[in-house]
A and B are shown apart, each in its own frame.
Chain A
Amino acid sequence: MPASPSSSGPLARATGRFLLNRAALVGVALLLPLLAAVLTYPLWMPYRPNDIDLLAMNAAPSAAHWFGTDGVGRDVLARTLEGGRISLLVAVSSVVLSTAIGFLVGAVSAFGGRFADALAMRSVDLAMTLPPVIFLLVLASIVGSGIWSTVVVIALLSWPVLSRMIRARLLELREREFVMASRGMGAGIGHLLFRHGLPNSIDILVVYATLQVANAILLEAGLSFLGLGVPPPAASWGNMLNAARSTAVLEQYPWQWLFPGGALVLAVLAINFIGDGLRDAFDPRVDLN
């Protein structure tokens, strides 16, 4: 019998490897306080994001307003935190949506037979050949602006890459003997997909989802910056940057774009570190060393 008293599954071993990755831990150390601040700010912030302080318009950072105020006297710190909420909400929901679409399309493609495969992959090709910026603009102008339409637009733009990766993984998996054994015991497509397909694609899904969150934050910021994403007065990192884009603000009131921009860069960087760490942790070749 094996000597080790406790059994560790593949997931537990991946977690162990992740905890040894310094860059990934730095990412976690950056992201966790940011997340905590964004989620809890109504409990300790004296200002709401849309409170107007008419006595302090375009005020520089001070003891009263740590990050300063914007052109109509709203607290930049409160708006940056609220913007983080919106940005992360949009990013996470769009990633959940696009991961679900990507997985299902990939699964249908791999398990659904030749015709379904051809149909699914041609639509992936189509979705990937469309120039992203133009696709985004057209979609955004059709579904309009707003938080949920931004979520839909970002999700529709990002699922094709995932569905290709899932298809490749499941095609390989389909020929593996333990999957054949499962079929030999009478497994239908649902069982194969969720008991074998999903656990064996979890590495792809987690890594994709993490990196895609960072990507979605940037896309949301881009959309909002163009005025097609989250509309004001709601705050998001993107529309705060949009509001601060005039030359006068850029030069004279740098805190109005520096802080939301900084938060954006910090969040994206941290999530990318974590995503890279997860990718390394799930790499089966690491076990060979």
Chain B
Amino acid sequence: MTEAPLLSVRGLAKHYQTRGATLKILQDISFDIAKGEVVGLVGESGSGKTTIGRSVLRLIEPSAGAVVFDGDDLTTLSGGELRRRRPRMQYIFQDPYASLSPRMTIGEILTEGLKIQGIGSRAERLERARKALEQVELPPDAINRYAHEFSGGQRQRIGIARALTLAPDFIVADEPVSALDVSIQAQVVNLMRDLQQRLGLTMLFISHDLAVVEYICDRVIVLYLGRIMEIATSEDLYARPQHPYTQALMSAIPSPDPDLARKREILKGDIPSPANPPSGCVFRTRCPKALDACAAAVPQLREVAPGHVKACIRDDIGYPEP
């Protein structure tokens, strides 16, 4: 990558102060996304995926760190300056039921962003709403209906259309298909991939579904308890996972071939509480390959292959041979 990345996240952290404890939801998150790239963000429930997605767009305020979007640090912008840049970056929500207002027609929902930004006349805005509906393969007469008249998959398409009306460069897609039926998931994932390629979108794709991530993403970030464990291109990550956590995740992907019954690594226990994370490497309490040294210091991300970084002190664990 010679070109400057479109999005550059440095040392992002999010802490919540509760009575008697500080919840460290995110710590020291740094990554880049190049223009036109689709980066996956995977991790189990509670690892902080959604918090990253929302902090990056400053829908919630990060506690520390910088989010540089096309040269501007979003975390230091004033409210008005941030609002002017909002159209360039949009968010697609996980829950297609909660993310559409029950009191607005689809037309009102789709023209809301344009109206806020003062773009176009009423007729022009409606025209753009119709175009957005077309892009997500919904009929134009949907414009006068209410969200409750649509199925989950259709609602998610409306959510995607809403993000597209402002013609963004960058989209954070927060588990856009995990609330949908499996049969609908493929449609929506394909739609998102088409749109990404056709419109040249840059995307942060949050998911816990490793198969979907492999299909749609160029690079993947693996998250555990608010820290990055490993970053690699999807190809590299799925073929040669280097971090014990990623290896455990990969072995959990069901294989359609019963003869190829892989040796499964089942992780013991649950993800620890962010109020009291383990010292050193946060994964060491569940890691099958942990050493005493793992408790001593937080492992830094280091390059183990070109474009492939991991936060693990062990070099002697390659990837498990099939």
A binds B: yes
Binds B, one of A118-126, A180-188, A271-279: A180-188
Closest to A1 in B: B139
A9 contact from B93, B100, B146, B162, Cβ within 8 A? B146
Contact A185 B113 (CB under 8 A): yes
Binds A, one of B80-88, B243-251, B260-268: B80-88
Chain B residues lying within 8 Å of A199, measured Cβ to Cβ, are 101, 103-104
Contact A177 B145 (CB under 8 A): no
- How far does the alpha carbon of A289 sit from the alpha carbon of B76 in the complex, in Å? 50
Contact A186 B93 (CB under 8 A): no
Min CB–CB distance B79 → chain A (angstroms): 8
Check if B135 is an interface residue, CB within 8 A of chain A. no
Closest to A9 in B: B146
Min CB–CB distance A191 → chain B (angstroms): 6
**Which of chain A's residues 155-206 have a Cβ closer than 8 Å to chain B?**
176-178, 180-188, 191, 195-196, 199-200
Contact A195 B146 (CB under 8 A): no
Min CB–CB distance A2 → chain B (angstroms): 4
Contact A184 B103 (CB under 8 A): no
Contact B116 A177 (CB under 8 A): no
0 or 1 for each of B96-114: is its CB under 8 Å from A? (1 = yes): 0011111111000100110
Check if A7 is an interface residue, CB within 8 A of chain B. yes
Min CB–CB distance B218 → chain A (angstroms): 24
Chain A residues lying within 8 Å of B91, measured Cβ to Cβ, are 180-181, 184
Check if A62 is an interface residue, CB within 8 A of chain B. no
Contact A184 B98 (CB under 8 A): no
Chain A residues lying within 8 Å of B59, measured Cβ to Cβ, are 180, 183-184
**Which of chain A's residues 1-55 have a Cβ closer than 8 Å to chain B?**
1-2, 4, 7-11
Known A-B contacts A184-B57, A186-B113, A191-B116; A177 and B146 likewise in contact (beta carbons under 8 Å): no
Contact A185 B166 (CB under 8 A): yes
B98 contact from A8, A178, A183, Cβ within 8 A? A178
Contact A10 B93 (CB under 8 A): no
Contact A181 B93 (CB under 8 A): yes
Contact B112 A195 (CB under 8 A): yes
Closest to B141 in A: A1
A181 contact from B99, B103, B150, Cβ within 8 A? B99
0 or 1 for each of B187-200: is its CB under 8 Å from A? (1 = yes): 00000000000000
Min CB–CB distance A175 → chain B (angstroms): 10
User: How would you classify the secondary structure of chain B's contact residues: helix, strand, loop or mixed?
Assistant: mixed
B83 contact from A4, A9, A188, A196, Cβ within 8 A? A188
Min CB–CB distance A205 → chain B (angstroms): 13
Number of interface residues of B (CB under 8 A): 35
Check if B22 is an interface residue, CB within 8 A of chain A. no
Contact B116 A4 (CB under 8 A): no
- How far does the alpha carbon of A76 sit from the alpha carbon of B57 in the complex, in Å? 69
**Which of chain B's residues 41-99 have a Cβ closer than 8 Å to chain A?**
54, 57, 59, 79, 82-84, 86-87, 90-91, 93, 95, 98-99
Chain A residues lying within 8 Å of B100, measured Cβ to Cβ, are 178
Contact B101 A196 (CB under 8 A): yes
Closest to B96 in A: A177
Chain B residues lying within 8 Å of A185, measured Cβ to Cβ, are 86-87, 90, 112-113, 116-117, 166
Contact A186 B149 (CB under 8 A): no
Check if B178 is an interface residue, CB within 8 A of chain A. no
Contact A182 B116 (CB under 8 A): yes
Contact A186 B116 (CB under 8 A): yes
Most buried by A among B79, B98, B105: B98
Contact A7 B112 (CB under 8 A): no
Closest to B80 in A: A188
- How far does the alpha carbon of A180 sit from the alpha carbon of B58 in the complex, in Å? 11
Chain B residues lying within 8 Å of A187, measured Cβ to Cβ, are 83, 112, 116
- How far does the alpha carbon of A186 sit from the alpha carbon of B90 in the complex, in Å? 10
Chain B residues lying within 8 Å of A180, measured Cβ to Cβ, are 54, 59, 91, 93
Chain A residues lying within 8 Å of B79, measured Cβ to Cβ, are 188
Known A-B contacts A2-B150, A182-B116, A186-B113; A7 and B86 likewise in contact (beta carbons under 8 Å): no
Check if B144 is an interface residue, CB within 8 A of chain A. yes
Chain B residues lying within 8 Å of A1, measured Cβ to Cβ, are 139
Chain A residues lying within 8 Å of B113, measured Cβ to Cβ, are 185-186
Chain B residues lying within 8 Å of A177, measured Cβ to Cβ, are 93, 95, 98-99
- How far does the alpha carbon of A196 sit from the alpha carbon of B100 in the complex, in Å? 11
Chain B residues lying within 8 Å of A196, measured Cβ to Cβ, are 101
Min CB–CB distance B255 → chain A (angstroms): 35
A-B contacts, 9 listed (Cβ < 8 Å): A177-B95, A178-B100, A180-B54, A184-B59, A184-B90, A184-B91, A185-B112, A185-B116, A186-B84
Besides A10-B103, A178-B101, A180-B91, 17 new A-B residue pairs in contact (Cβ under 8 A), listed by A number: A2-B149, A7-B144, A7-B145, A177-B93, A177-B95, A178-B100, A180-B93, A181-B162, A182-B112, A182-B116, A184-B57, A184-B59, A185-B117, A186-B86, A186-B87, A188-B116, A196-B101
Give the top 4 A-B pairs by smallest Cβ distance, nearest first: A185-B113, A186-B86, A186-B83, A177-B99
